Structure 1
Amino acid sequence: DQLNANRVCNIEVSPSTTIYLKVARVQPDPQHVQDYHVPVLQFPVTPNQWDLTTQQILPYIDGIRHISRIALEADVEMSLVKACVQNMIYYGIITLIPIFQYSNVYLTTPRLVHLAENISLQDECIRFVSKQESQPLATFRSIFQLYCHMCPGMTVKDLCMKFNPSAHGIDEKALIKFGLMKGFIRRFQKYPIFLAPKPHSVENTRGLYRYFDGNHSYDEICCKELKSYQELEERVEKHPAIVVCWK
C-alpha cells in the first residue's frame, strides 16, 4: 500500500536487513541536442552533485553560448557536451533555446494567453526580464506589449527601436529568453533553398550549397561552416538561384 500511495517503501526483512524500494518515473526521451542549440538552466544547480565532465561545462552554460562554443571554451569533446546536456534535459534541469541575435524574428504562440491570465506568472516574468539596475521594476503592461508586437518582419532590433525597452527597465535578451523557456514565443527561422537547374550539380553539392535544401536553418549552417550570420546573408542575397523559406 505504501508503495502504491507514495511510490516508495521500506521492507524490513530482518533486524539487520532492510529493502528500500522506489518506483522510478520514466521520462520521455529528451530533445536531440544540436551544435547550434543554446542550453539554459531552469534553476541553479550544485556542481559537485554531477560528474566531472558536467562540472567542467556548467560554468559555460549561461543562456548565451551555444553547444559548439561551450565545447570549444570548456575544452570538452562535442559529443560529451551533448551527452551531458541531454542528460540534464532528461531530468528537467536544462531547456534548449535558439541563438540570440538582434536580427532574429519571433512569433507569439497560443500559450501567451496563460501569461495574460496568471498573476503569479506575470510576477515571475517581471522579475526575470527587468534590468538589474531598474528601480522600480518594469511594468507588466510594457512587457506584454513587446510580446504582442512580435510578428513576421519584426526583428528584435526593430522592436527595440520602436519601443525602447531599456527605457522601460526591460532587458530585451531576458525578455526573449523567458518567452522561449515558457513557450510564449518561438523563433521564426530562415532556411535557404538553392534552385539549381540540376539538383545534383557540382555547385549544389559542395561548400555551403549542400545545406541549401530547405532543411537547414541559418543557425545550423553558420555553426557548421563557422560563418557569421552577415556572411551567409550576403552569400544568399547575391546568388540569383537562392531563395529563403521562413518557417
Structure 2
Amino acid sequence: MIQGIFYARFLPEEGTRVVHQSPPGCIVPEPDIDKPRLFDFETISEYIIPRQAFCNRYVTICEPENKYRILGHPVCIDNEKYKRNEFMFNFCIVIGTEVDKIPYEAVVRRLASTFTEMEIQNQFLSEEGISNSQDRRSIAALIEIIKEDLNNYNECMIPVDDANTINMKLFPVHKHPPPVKSWHVPISKIKFTDIMDDTWDLTMRKVIHHIDGIKDVRRIAHDADVALSLTKIALQHLLYYDSILMLDLFLFGNIYAPTPEINDFIADKDGLQNECANYVYINGPRLPNFYLCRLFTSLCTSRTIKEWLKMHMDQGFPVFNYIDVRRFIQFGVIKGLIYRVHKYAVSSQYIASLVSGQSMPVEGGDVLQKYTDGCHCFDQIITEKNMADSKIMERLRKFPKGDVEIIYR
C-alpha cells in the first residue's frame, strides 16, 4: 500500500523542494496541517534530486529509521530554455519497508516517462502556475488520484488534457515456481469449474479436467492425451498463480515422520483437529480427535504406511473403517505436520565411474544404473520406468554384492 506520494523539483535558488504531496503534510509541513510526517525529508533530500550521474534511472532509498522506502526516478532534462540549462524533478512513492517494492517499479518509471513527455511537449511541470490553461488537471490533483486509485483498485487511468492520459496498473509479482516433475501429484486449491470457460487454452482445460489429487503428472498427460512437456508447462503456469500445489505419489510403501509443527496439532491450534476430522473421516461414527493425534505421532522414519496400518490394526484400531488414509497423509503434508522420507539407491561402483569419467555398465543392472547416484528418488524410478518398488529392489539385488546401498532421507 502506498503511504505517500510526492513531486519534488530542484530550484536553482532554493535547492530540492517538495512541490506537491499526498496526503497533505506527509513529507514536509504545510500550513493548517497538523499531522506527523512520515520521515525527515531534509536527511534524504540529496538523494531525491541527486547529481546528474544518478539521474534518469530508478532508485530506492530507505529513510534513517528504516520504516519507509522511497521509490523514485529522478529526471534531468537538458535544454537552454531552463535556468542553468537543465530541469530536474522526481515523482516518488513511499511504501513500508516490509512491502514488496517490485510491483511499484513500473509505476515509478511510468510516472517519470509520462511527465517527462508532458514537460517536453508543453512545459507542463516547469510552467505550473504560469499557464492559464483550464483544460488540464493540476499536479496536486493528479498525484492524489494516482495514490487513491492504486491503493483501492491497483490501477488508474486519468485524463490530463486533450493529448495525455496517465494509465498505470500494479501487477502482482509471483516467485518462479519450482520445476514440475513427472512423479508429482497436483492438487487444486480452487474450484476450476467455477472460473473456466470456453476462452481458456485447450491444453489447459484438458489438463485441469484430470487434476484429482490422485493422478501424477505422467498419468495426467496420458489420460488427457497431452504431451508430457506441455502438461508440465500448464501445471507450472497454475503453480505460478498459486492455483495448485504439488505433493508426492501416495504409495503404501512410503515413509512419513512428524515435524515440530505436530505440537500445534496436538494443542489444537486454530482448530486443526476438527479441520482434519472433516477432511479425512469417511464412514461410521466420528471418533474422538485423540485418535488423529495418535495416528500422526505413531508415524516414524522406520515404518512404512503399510507397516503403520498393520500396527494399528493389530492394536484393535481398524483405520480403514474410519478414515481415508490418502487424505489423512495429504492433510499432514499440506499443513506441514509430517514430511516425506524419500528412498535413494547409491552404487559405489557407478559413483566411482562418474568420478573417473568412465562408464562401467553393470550386468543386469544397466536399466537402473543411471538412477544409482543418490540423486534420484524411488518415485522418479517408479514413474519413469513404470516399475513397482519391489521390482526395483529385485533388479538392484542383481548389482555386485555390497555395491548398492539404500539411503532414506
What TM-score, normalized by structure 1, do the two folds share? 0.88
Partner of 1:242: 404
Partner of 1:100: helix, strand, or coil? coil
Rg larger in structure: 2
Q: CA deviation at 1:157?
A: 0.9
Task: List alignment gaps of at least 5 residues for structure 2.
Answer: 1-146, 313-317
The 5 Å alignment of 1:171-182 reads 171-182=324-335
1:154-192 CA deviation, whole Å, 9 max, x = no partner? 11111211223223x211111011111222211101100
Q: Which AA in structure 1 matches 2:260?
A: P
Decide which moves more: 135-144 or 59-68: 135-144
Cα distance change of structure 1 residues 115 and 4 upon mapping to structure 2, 3 Å threshold? farther
Larger strand percent: 2
Task: List alignment gaps of at least 5 residues for structure 1.
Answer: none
Q: Does 1:166 align with 2:330?
A: no
1:198-221 CA deviation, whole Å, 9 max, x = no partner? 523432594211110100001111
Partner of 1:43: 190
Larger helix percent: 1
Tell me, in whole angstroms, the C-alpha distance in 2 between the residues paired with 1:24 and 1:111: 34
Partner of 1:215: helix, strand, or coil? strand
Partner of 2:214: helix, strand, or coil? coil
Number of residues of Structure 1 aligned to a counterpart in Structure 2: 244
Aligned residue among 330, 334, 337 for 1:184: 337
Q: What is the root-mean-square deviation in Å for CA atoms of aligned residues?
A: 2.5
What TM-score, normalized by structure 2, do the two folds share? 0.55
Aligned residue among 146, 152, 156 for 2:301: 152
Q: Which AA in structure 2 matches 1:81?
A: T
Relative contact order higher in (CA < 8 Å, ≥ 6 apart): 1
Q: Does 1:221 align with 2:381?
A: yes
Tell me, in whole angstroms, the C-alpha distance in 1 between the residues paired with 2:366 and 2:204: 36
Tell me, in whole angstroms, the C-alpha distance in 2 between the residues paired with 1:175 and 1:19: 52
Partner of 1:65: 215
Cα distance change of structure 1 residues 207 and 237 upon mapping to structure 2, 3 Å threshold? closer
Paired-residue identity, %: 29
Tell me, in whole angstroms, the C-alpha distance in 1 between the residues paired with 2:149 and 2:366: 59
Tell me, in whole angstroms, the C-alpha distance in 2 between the residues paired with 1:97 and 1:103: 16
Tell me, in whole angstroms, the C-alpha distance in 1 between the residues paired with 2:274 and 2:404: 45
Q: CA deviation at 1:7?
A: 5.5
Tell me, in whole angstroms, the C-alpha distance in 1 between the residues paired with 2:284 and 2:152: 45
Decide which moves more: 81-90 or 226-235: 226-235
Q: CA deviation at 1:67?
A: 0.8
